[in-house]
Amino acid sequence: MTEWVKRPKRYVPDLRQLGALCDGNYHRLRKLRQLDAENEAVCEIELHREDQYLGRVRIERLQTARFTETLLLEQVHNSGRWLNNPKMTVRVYHDATMAEVISCYRHRHIAPVNDYPNRFMHHPDEKVQINGFLADWLDYCLRFGHLPLEHAVWTAGQGGD
């Protein structure tokens, strides 16, 4: 007698969803980096909601090529109340107008698809989830982000008034 064993369906990534996230992240990053008109190798943005200081986001350009850039994005909190500050390496493809998370936190490689279960218990769609988190984080930065006061004062003093 044979028993029928139901095998789990293999996860198939939704490339449209991932492409839409990467496209949106590209445009969010461009808007966020436009706050720093000088477009330096390091851009810092303070996050404020009304009178509450929420921390600082640092965007550092790690590598530049003809059509791509590699950026390190990390949120730094002086208060120490956060357990894990977001920290991601993002590859920006200017020719394709896409930005994709290539590593997160401990600089581990993010596989497009993970078998499940796996040794580290990564979700099958972890790449989509992490790029979705980046989209939410960048939206948050765009909503509450400002140039640091010392940068704004220094820039205003450089004008030829």
Domain-embedded: residue 154: no
Residue 107 within a domain: yes
137 half-sphere exposure, CB direction, 13 A CA radius: 24
The pLDDT of residue 5: 67
- How many domains does the chain divide into? 1
Report the b/e string of 55-68 with b at 16+ CB within 10 A: bbbebebeeeeeee
pLDDT per residue as tens digits for the range 54-106: 889 999 999 999 999 999 999 887 555 555 788 999 999 999 999 999 988 76
* Phi, psi of 75, deg, nearest 5: -105, 130
User: Which residue, 66, 63, 59, 69, is CA-closest to 92?
Assistant: 69
Say if 3 falls within a structural domain.
no
Q: Is residue 10 part of a domain?
A: no
What's the domain range around 66? 16-113+124-148
Strand partners, 92: 69, 99
